[in-house]
Amino acid sequence: MKKIIGIITVVATLGLLLSACNLDRYPTDRIVNEQAFQTFEDAERFRNGVYNELRRVRYGIFTTTTELMSDLFNASVGFGGRGAAPHRLYTDFTGATEPRDIWGNVFGAIAQVNNFINNVEGVTATAEQREQIADFVAEAHYARAFLYYILATHFMYPYSPENRNTPELGMPLLRDFDVTARPGRATIAETFAFILEDLEAAEAISTVGAPRSIRITRDAVHALKARVYFMMGNNARAAHYAEMLIASARYPLVRTEEALRRMWINDDSSEDIFKLQSTQTATGAFRTNWLSETAAWTLATMSIFSTWDNAASRFAPDFLPTQTVIDLYGDGDMRLNVFFSDPETQIVRYGGIDRPGVRVLHKFPGNPALFTTPGITNYRHHQRMHRIAEMYLISAEAGRNLHRLNELRVARGASELGGFGPDDQYLRDEWVREFVGEGHRIESLRRWGIGFDGRVPQDPLSVSNYGGGFYTNRHVTPIQFYRFTLPIPSNDLQTNPNLRQTPSWVNPQ
């Protein structure tokens, strides 16, 4: 964990240097060390720092890496090798940038959240302010739970009776801000228990919830609980929390194409349970020293799916949705026109040649309110953490509730279904229709215990022909499930002797 420890040391040193300065000069986006926790105003600033830690690990590689590993996308002919390692599920993946940057940035964020939890209670505050601080602490527990959820989805085997108690398959569990810590890995069961413990602490948040909330609420806690219990195979608890949120009627499904566009272009929707607020200038600099501010922001956006060439007035993204994805949308389903480009008017071009008829994923085109130059997208969005559609699908699958599945479909303009389909295929397809590009696919495949059989391109001339078609012909069977789990980065194994590599990556096949 050399990279993480180095950053923590820098941050702590900065706190010592600033402790005697005017508080107005403290950084508002970064938690420093405990000497800075003196007043309620400090607590408020560092609470905002907790939110900034979440912004740094939402969208970008933290969302797209697992999508690129799946069967939903093809590398385009112009992708330039970006995302190549996860897309080919490469056997020598331990030195790749994706596991390195996800691991390092998430653990860096955990360190800062721990510093907040460990020290905020020591500030001078009134009784009324103490009540607010209790909310801040509860929010921080949600943040830590979400950070460990990211680690669980990327670096751990699925939770199961066979592996949940096997030593060193879980994550290093960190409660304290300790720059000398070199923890080993817990079990998968212990990791999930840690997440649920944090979520129980987060239940103390006083605000119930409302659409478009930019602050953590109890509803956000319940949404994450539903997701975590679903990952654990505890369908009863998952359906319970999903139904709580649906039954509250606080987050009605949108039912028009205009409203659905507003959700994805303007980040404005009654379906949003919790989203992170972004600005024109808040890039959320990453903790990898080689990254410039511009490169750091690129990693935090979803531009790989819908890169637009202003000079040519054409799309040229790094990854294109497969034909299989496009074919899932039936007549009347408004998601096809909202989530994807119009192939007649929004043309894809590679190598100076137009590729007519090809659609790109256009869920993340950039919010015009966040553009720094009017009319020119920078692909920034308010980062969506939870939306009610996920609760409908969790209730449908975990609770075997066909009514919830059909409610979602009808709201999107699709027809009702008479059942879940053979082997639940209709239900499984709905997860793709609604959440393509949002990072759910690999988690779903692992939950269902299935692999995938190739990546059918929309246009063979638009996609990479690496290895004579290796990308498009990539097959993953259950025996290769270890490839759905990122390896522990090699640098961290070298600098922390207590870490152990995930067994299937020791001699990958």
Query: Is it the case that residue 142 has pLDDT exceeding 60?
Result: yes
User: Residue 371 — pLDDT band, cuts 50, 70, 90?
Assistant: confident
117 and 20 in one domain? Answer: yes
364 and 302 in one domain? Answer: yes
Buried b (16+ CB within 10 A) or exposed e, 447-481: beeebbeebbbbbeebbbebeeeebbebebeeeeb
310 and 240 in one domain? Answer: no
Full residue range of the structural domain in which residue 393 is found: 207-277+387-425
Range in 14-28, 56-70, 218-232 the model is least confident about: 14-28
Contact 281, 391 (CB under 8 A): no
Domain contains 130: yes
Q: How many CA atoms lie within 13 A of 85 on its CB side?
A: 15
Domain contains 214: yes
191 and 78 in one domain? Answer: yes
400 and 337 in one domain? Answer: no
Q: Give the Å distances, CA to CA, from 43 to 39, 278, 437.
A: 7, 21, 36
**Identity at 227, one-letter amino acid code:** R
User: Residue 380 — pLDDT band, cuts 50, 70, 90?
Assistant: confident
Whole-model pTM: value is 0.91
169 and 86 in one domain? Answer: yes
Domain contains 258: yes
299 and 350 in one domain? Answer: yes
Domain contains 184: yes
Range in 277-281, 359-363, 471-475 the model is least confident about: 277-281
SS3 359: coil
Identify the bridge partners of residue 75 per DSSP, sorted by sequence position.
319
393 and 270 in one domain? Answer: yes
Domain contains 444: no
The pLDDT, as a whole number, for residue 302 is 87
112 and 33 in one domain? Answer: yes
301 and 264 in one domain? Answer: no
The pLDDT, as a whole number, for residue 25 is 32
Contact 189, 197 (CB under 8 A): no
For residues 150 and 158, give the distance between their C-alpha atoms in angstroms, rounded to a whole number: 13
pLDDT digits (tens, 9 = 90+) for 229-263: 999 999 999 999 999 999 999 999 999 999 999 99
User: Residue 282 — pLDDT band, cuts 50, 70, 90?
Assistant: low
Q: What is the count of structural domains for the chain?
A: 3
| Percent of the chain that is helix, strand, coil (3-state, to 5) | 50, 5, 45
Domain contains 28: yes
User: Residue 300 — pLDDT band, cuts 50, 70, 90?
Assistant: low
Query: Is it the case that residue 109 has pLDDT exceeding 90?
Result: yes
**Identity at 450, one-letter amino acid code:** I
DSSP 422-488: GGGHHHHHHHHHHHTTTT-HHHHHHHHT--EE----S-GGGB--HHHHTTTT-EE-GGGGGGGSPPP
The pLDDT, as a whole number, for residue 481 is 79
We report the CATH number of the domain holding residue 47 as 1.25.40.390
Domain contains 1: yes
For residues 311 and 300, give the distance between their C-alpha atoms in angstroms, rounded to a whole number: 24
Range in 284-288, 434-438, 439-443 the model is least confident about: 284-288
The pLDDT, as a whole number, for residue 178 is 87
Return the percentage of the chain with pLDDT > 90, whole number. Answer: 76
Query: Is it the case that residue 188 has pLDDT exceeding 50?
Result: yes
Helix (H), strand (E), coil (C) string for 45-112: HHHHHHHHHHHHCCCCHHHHHHHHHCCCEEEECCCCCCCHHHHHCCCCCCCCHHHHHHHHHHHHHHHH
187 and 78 in one domain? Answer: yes
Query: Is it the case that residue 299 has pLDDT exceeding 70?
Result: no
DSSP character at residue 409: H
Domain contains 376: no
DSSP 316-337: --SEEE-HHHHTT--TT-THHH
155 and 249 in one domain? Answer: no
